[in-house]
Chains A and B, each alone.
Chain A
Amino acid sequence: MPRSWVDAILAAGVVPASYVPDASVGRTDLEEFTGAEPVEDPELRVHSLAGAQPLAPAAVGFLDGIEQWRVVGYAGVTPIVRAYVAAAIRLRGADRRPRTVAEDADELAITRLDRLSAAVRGALEGTGVHVVEISADDAGQPARALPAARIEVQKARAALERRLAERRLEALGSDEWLVVDGVLSDSAALSAHPRALGVVKSHGAQYFAGPELERALTLPAVHRTSVFRPKRRGARREIHSWYLRLWPWEGNDLLYGLLRVEARAHPDTGALAPRISAWLVDERAPLATPDRRWDRLLYPIHDVETYLRARAPRDLIPYPASRLPRTGS
């Protein structure tokens, strides 16, 4: 979408601004202890992947999304945020080259309409841009407004990804899998599909404590844990999950090379866990460098992200000197 709505609100009296928050590191897992129930073993155990035959689907779709946003103006102290979210699925077939099979993007304005002057509000509404409002409490304090805006951006991105994934599931081939960057449990369709996988890189949520936690976090390279069922939280659907270590953590940190895999809650998942894990270990190559999360980031997911960033509006990317005071000219 062209920047016309930004120009319109600036013309209506909004003070221009240029603030780009730190780049998103993607959706994070819940930062709390939730607990889990054993599925495969009575307690969490460590399984070697030696000898496991990797699953080799004929085609795999990889789904990821991006979000970019910046404050483009202030009406008083109320920020007006321009946000861009996008998601894509790139399908890898027999030639091992990912190709885009689905993508979507959305641009939104995030603010609090009743804090804007009538002229600005009219200008904003007149452009037809999708406006998302933050709460009145958050809008009154800039220190709270921006985190609130950020949450709205993340929600928009998650919704976009979910829509894209669910549309793709309807057309998923019989020997085609869909690998999602993040959790499956946001979507009923995803969490129930036999060939959908969620690959979680962040480990804010902890499902174990004591010796089981130690076993999970000190998992040796090319090993997995038993399959477990995370306890349900809110609207999240039931899924099966297990930890998988891609690279040796010794010499780095506990989370180095550690993934948590999500799949549907079904007896077959336990049987497939070794083959799925061996497949994901194979996905270590090529390395997803230069991304700093390369130890956990699968290259095809990195590829989707690269694709999306290449197609994102260029004016949302922070420019190194953009915050320097403007010269007199």
Chain B
Amino acid sequence: MIDRRDPPPIGRVVATEQKPATPHQFHFWTANETTIGIGAIVRVEEQPGNPKGLPNGRGKGETGKVVYGVVTDGFAYSDLATPLHDVVGAEGDPARAAESPTVRQEIRLWTAAVLRQKPEEPLQPVPLGQVHVASDVDVAQALRMDTYLGGAEPTAIPVGLYTSGTLEAPVYLDADFLLGPEAAHLNISGVSGLATKTSAAEFLLGSIFQHFPTHKGRIAAVCFNVKGPDLCFLDQPGALEDEDRRRYERLAVRAQPFERVRYYAPFKADGVNLNTLRTHPDLVGDVEPLVWGLREVLDYAEVLLNRDDIDAKADAFIDFLSDRVVDKDFDDGFGGAHRVVTFADLERLFRSIFDGLELGGGRGDTWRTHHIATIRKVRNRLSNISTRAKGLVTDDGPSNDLPWGRFEDRAVYVVDVANVDPLGQDLVFARVVSKLREHLERRDLGVDAVVVFVDELNKYAPADGPETYVKKMLLDISERGRYLGLVLFGAEQFRSQVHRRVVGNAGTIMFGRMDSDELATPGYQVLSPATKIKLATLPIGELMVRHPHFTQPIFVRFPRPAVLRGRDGVERFPPAADLPFEDAVVRQLVKLDRRVRPNLVKDLIADRREEDVRRALAYTRQTRPQDAFAHFKKQLGGRVAAVPAAARETVAPLNPISDDPY
């Protein structure tokens, strides 16, 4: 795994009064033709008692202090005192300047930040010794990876290859600091369109699944697909080049797609076609519908309420509904008995309350201590979600959810909310993460740790803006998740636009190519101008990594993920057009039971109300019977003749006092 070649010296530390060597920084020069650049890791060896600076025959480590550093800045200059002298020498002709018989003396001077000193105590200025390009062993030492690469229970997770010239060395993260409990969370920043953020997360997840130490237990990932087809084909192999395969081999990671991927997507508004781009006939079969009912929504009603809505009265009424009404036999006080399970049941209760209050002849404007205005507001918000997130939230019928308590080891659960209303996205996000937390607290999720990958973190946890439920929840994960095994892998374009406590609690931070304006924000002041320039021009597949063990950021290259990229996936597996209602129902029943005959289903549902069909289908899906058609038919029930609607009780109009308006 580690190459133990010892590279030749490439430079020498220099120190002047203006640019002294310190315990944290030093300067060195190299030949003009050198392989090192910004981000290169170097090793400095002290050579005591050797005035001529010649090798004294002693081996590495015997000569005194060894210092590892990373190049953070570079300078080149000649002995030219002023540009005017160059002009004079060339007699004002730039072409002649290149024809001078002698090339001026030039220097390549580099500034390096200290990564590690050995021995670590006493901490002293860097010795003025020879500088070597770091070898594999040096990289491991410099980044303190030796502490978690070896031993009885190694916790190293390959993250990429450090490269400098022809030298390549694997870089590892410490699982204890990436996934807890010592530190946790990963934040990835970078401009869009360079396939780095998502690719990095996918590669790292694959690496984690292959290298997460067994003694740390079982692990799974929940990925929210919030845009396009990004995460829709994680189970399909993608195209790799030889260079990618070589990097996989060097990192000891198998180049393969994820073995266990479970997809969840809500329905579209029709309630039968899935709202995802993974609808190609070959793939749609393993996409599970994500359908939530009243109970699932009510627990997270705070998500649905905007800032103005959040008051003690609304909160109290929602609590009342949740505690006293939903899933319980309930008397509305007007003679009506209710068992509220669905939105439809709740709507009936609300109607009953309003009618009861109105028919009470002005008896009052409160019901069970709740003012009618509060009741109306809550009713409005709850019914609103079933409209805005139709397909995710069902008015009626059972829900279909992630397999709480049955999470599989090394499985990825993709929740595709790319085409869901933002309010619905918030709801999905809040509920899934909260449920993860609940189960992890109880240690009954099925795995010991869960990585939650969220792109567009600036949307869910913005640096400014209102304190939403989602933001508070993300803060909570960031600050306490590592104790539970709930790990946030967040990505965003602009780190400065994400709440600082969310990014600040990320133990590991990755930067892809960065926008120059972003780099000018205060959060990047610690980086040298050269490092910023490198960040602004990073190629695809290269990242700067900060990790608790690394005292300075390190640049690494990683292979493209071995999964089908979203754009390629959509080309290879074009999404199917939405099916007509009948065909969509047939497809879902066939998915449950291949013996189902389409014509029988179509005949059965002809002339039936779509709501009834959806409800019957949902129950069948939930039950997963052996004979799906028979179960579906039973749930749908017999055809019932239409019954004229009963006359609605209405409030009698007030008797006019007089016809005379005056």
Q: Which residues of A contact B (CB under 8 A)?
A: 2, 92, 95-98, 282-287, 289-290, 299-300, 303, 306
Contact = CB atoms under 8 A, between A and B. Distances in A.
B79 interface: yes
A17 B309 CA distance: 89
A284 B102 CA distance: 10
Interface in B56-106: 79-82, 85-86, 88-90, 96-97, 99-105
Contacts, number: 50
B51 interface: yes
A285 B105 contact: no
Contacts of A282: 100-101
A254 B101 CA distance: 27
Given A285-B90, A285-B96, A287-B88, A306 B79 contact: yes
A242 B499 CA distance: 79
Interface in B581-632: none
B88 A299 contact: no
Main secondary structure of the interface of A (DSSP, over half): loop
A129 B103 CA distance: 39
Given A92-B101, A98-B102, A286 B51 contact: no
Nearest to A298: B102
Given A286-B89, A289-B85, A92 B102 contact: yes
B101 to A, nearest CB: 6
The DSSP consensus for interface residues of chain B is: loop
A95 to B, nearest CB: 8
A283 B103 CA distance: 11
A272 B97 CA distance: 26
B81 A289 contact: yes
B51 A2 contact: yes
Given A2-B51, A300-B102, A306-B79, 6 more contacts: A283-B102, A285-B99, A286-B86, A287-B89, A289-B81, A290-B79
Nearest to B96: A285
Contact of B102 (A2, A303, A306): A303
Contacts of B103: 95-97
A180 to B, nearest CB: 16
Interface size class of B (residues with CB under 8 A): 10 to 19
Contacts of B81: 289-290
Given A284-B89, A285-B97, A286-B86, A306 B80 contact: no
B85 A287 contact: yes
A167 B51 CA distance: 28
Nearest to A290: B81
30 contacts: A92-B101, A92-B102, A96-B100, A96-B103, A98-B102, A282-B100, A283-B101, A283-B102, A284-B89, A285-B89, A285-B90, A285-B96, A285-B97, A285-B99, A285-B100, A285-B101, A286-B89, A286-B102, A286-B104, A287-B85, A287-B86, A287-B89, A289-B79, A289-B81, A289-B82, A290-B79, A299-B104, A300-B102, A303-B102, A306-B105
Contacts of A287: 85-86, 88-89
Nearest to A307: B105
Given A286-B80, A289-B80, A290-B81, A96 B89 contact: no
A92 B85 CA distance: 22
Interface in B84-138: 85-86, 88-90, 96-97, 99-105
B102 A96 contact: yes
A36 to B, nearest CB: 30
A299 B102 contact: yes
Given A285-B96, A285-B97, A289-B80, A303 B105 contact: yes
A220 to B, nearest CB: 16
Nearest to B78: A286
Which of A2, A95, A289, A290: most chain B CB closer than 10 A? A289
Contacts of A299: 100, 102, 104
A286 B79 CA distance: 10
A100 to B, nearest CB: 12
Nearest to A284: B89
B18 to A, nearest CB: 15
Interface string B315-338: 000000000000000000000000
A95 B88 CA distance: 23
Top 9 A-B pairs, shortest CB-CB distance:
A285-B89, A285-B100, A290-B81, A287-B89, A96-B103, A289-B81, A287-B85, A289-B85, A286-B89
A96 B104 CA distance: 9
A290 B104 CA distance: 13
A211 B80 CA distance: 39
A250 to B, nearest CB: 16
A299 B101 CA distance: 9
B423 to A, nearest CB: 69
Nearest to B88: A287
A299 B80 CA distance: 11
Interface in B17-68: 51
Contacts of A98: 102
B482 to A, nearest CB: 54
A284 B86 CA distance: 11
A97 B101 CA distance: 9
A98 B79 CA distance: 14
Nearest to B87: A287
A302 to B, nearest CB: 8
Contacts of B100: 96, 282, 285-286, 299
A287 B99 CA distance: 13
Contacts of A289: 79-82, 85
Nearest to B105: A303
A164 B100 CA distance: 27
Contacts of B97: 285
A72 B152 CA distance: 63
Nearest to A54: B101
Contacts of A303: 102, 105
A101 to B, nearest CB: 15
Contacts of B99: 285
A98 B51 CA distance: 25
A298 B415 CA distance: 74
Nearest to A283: B101
Contacts of A96: 100-103
A140 B89 CA distance: 50
A283 B88 CA distance: 13
A300 B100 CA distance: 11
A290 B80 CA distance: 8
A283 B102 CA distance: 8
Contacts of A285: 89-90, 96-97, 99-101
B178 to A, nearest CB: 48
Q: In the complex, which of the residues B79, B81, B85, B99 has the most CB atoms of chain A within 10 Å of its own CB atom? A: B79
Contacts of B90: 285
A289 B105 CA distance: 12
Nearest to B104: A286
Nearest to B82: A289
Contacts of B82: 289
A150 B398 CA distance: 106
Interface in B372-412: none
A282 B91 CA distance: 11
A290 B84 CA distance: 12
Contacts of B104: 286, 299
B556 to A, nearest CB: 35
Most interface-central of B82, B86, B90, B103 (chain A CB within 10 A): B103
Contacts of A283: 101-102
